Amino acid sequence: MNKDAVERRQHPRHEVQLPVLFNGDREGSGTIQDLSVNGSLIVSPTQVETGDHLSLWLYLPQEAVPILIEGAEVRWSAGERFGVCFLTLQPHEQIRLFQYLKP
């Protein structure tokens, strides 16, 4: 990840280890290793390409229902790691994400 990309971020990233499922242009599963209200870093054996569009199911600890991120775009990909930007997130899902990330 280059320094310019980190400096452009509007929201802080939080280090996490959360399971995620995804489908859309690619289908697979992985682990979210860092998370903000508008994007995340995912580690997965599924190869994705920059520009792929995905739906994500993010599993939070102690919650039976995952957060659904209906629209995410792959912004970069390197080996088993890729970054996504959240494009479509319903208001109730956004509230759940904000609550999880608040200090």
**CATH number of the domain to which 31 belongs:** 2.40.10.220
pTM beyond 0.75: yes
Chain-centroid distance of CA 62 in Å reads: 19
Domain count, the chain: 1
For the cut 60, the answer to whether the pLDDT of residue 16 exceeds it is yes
Please give the residue range of the domain that contains residue 29: 3-101
pLDDT band for position 11 (cuts 50, 70, 90):
low
Query: What residue ranges in 3-80 does DSSP mark as E strands?
Result: 14-24, 28-36, 39-43, 53-58, 67-78
Residue 32: per-residue pLDDT: 98
**How many whole angstroms separate alpha carbon 41 and alpha carbon 35?**
7
pLDDT one-digit tens code per residue, 28-76? 999 999 999 999 999 999 999 999 999 999 999 989 999 999 999 999 9
